[in-house]
Amino acid sequence: MSQQDDQLKQIVKDKYGSIAEQDKATNAASCCGATDVSTKVYNIMMDDYTAVEGYHADADLGLGCGLPTQFAHIQPGDTVIDLGSGAGNDCFVARHETGPTGKVIGIDFTERMIDKARQNAEKLGYNNVEFRFGDIEAMPVSDNLADVVVSNCVLNLVPNKAAVIREIFRVLQPGGHFSISDIVLEGELPEALRKDAELYAGCVAGAIQMEDYLELIHTQGFAQVQVQKKKTISLPDDILAKYLSDDEIRQFQQGNIGIFSITVYAEKPGEKKAKPKVNLAELNSCDPASGCC
């Protein structure tokens, strides 16, 4: 890993460590929660989770750019891994889908986020949701473990995106799949936006061309690659003004440059193993006081 990659990862870690202590309103009014707050009080990237089953407000820091769990085809009993799990929002939604017989593992490399997520899980009494401290470029997870991998606005924060996609392929069992929401580009960003490390932590400067993003997925051996959703992202003038002159802002807005949130689905080739049957009546009759649940 290059020194620049190390520096970028430290910027992200520091920023998201402080974000863990902020409220959703503050984060949602900024670019993925990481840049200075915009005076335009509306959500720049995130989608609304509030009507999604399994949603818990304490776990929602307003940092996402999509609803990957909505498209992830999670089934009861599935093992799900969430990359860059933050305060646990997508993990708790995934847990609703996978039910009491499934398992959800959240991975994050920001200690304060892990602490917050664990506190949220404890408050909710969830015993089949686990949060692991680690780098998604080298996940603390065994091979062929997961049925489904989800992630929400995280790969754009990682310098080595190919390494993450390789890791997703490794941890998915044959026949497993992922659904990932992320930020991508069409056309070249102005140099000032591309080079600013602070904006990298805000999800934009770390984004790559959509065709390159999809090619990385194909190259790692995934099949059935499809864009499930595509949404245009507009940066407010007061954020752009930090980096560009008035003329440059006009050129940027009138040009052929697009910033998009996409949700991508892909499958790891192979046939899934049949899950062992679980006696749900027996599971649901378990007394928590006995320590069995």
pLDDT for residue 45: 54
- Separation CA 113–CA 28 (nearest Å): 17
pLDDT tens digit sequence for 8-27: 666 665 665 565 565 554 44
Residues lower than pLDDT 70 in the chain: 1-51, 55-64, 195-205, 276-293
Long-range contacts of 253-258 (CB under 8 A, 24+ apart): 255/187, 256/186, 256/187, 257/185, 257/186, 257/187, 257/188, 257/189, 258/185, 258/186, 258/187, 258/232
Domain that holds residue 167: 3-230+256-269
Structure tokens at 104: 């959800």
Question: Where would I find the H helices in 74-196?
Answer: 89-98, 111-124, 161-171, 191-195
Return the CATH number at 166: 3.40.50.150
pLDDT for residue 207: 81
pLDDT for residue 55: 64
pLDDT for residue 272: 83
For residue 11, tell me if it sits in a domain.
yes
For residue 45, tell me if it sits in a domain.
yes
Structure tokens at 271: 């046939």
pLDDT for residue 1: 59
For residue 245, tell me if it sits in a domain.
no
How many domains in the chain?
Answer: 1
pTM: 0.80
| Helix H or strand E segment including 15 | helix 3-19
Long-range contacts of 110-114 (CB under 8 A, 24+ apart): 110/13, 110/16, 110/17, 110/20, 111/17, 112/16, 112/17, 112/20, 112/21, 113/16, 113/17, 113/20, 113/85, 113/86, 113/87
**Residue 105: what are its φ and ψ, rounded to 5°?**
-120, 120
For residue 41, tell me if it sits in a domain.
yes
pLDDT for residue 270: 95
For residue 199, tell me if it sits in a domain.
yes
Torsion angle, alpha carbons of 84, 85, 87, 92, to 10 = 160
- Separation CA 163–CA 26 (nearest Å): 32
Structure tokens at 230: 């595509």
For residue 35, tell me if it sits in a domain.
yes
For residue 286, tell me if it sits in a domain.
no
For residue 97, tell me if it sits in a domain.
yes
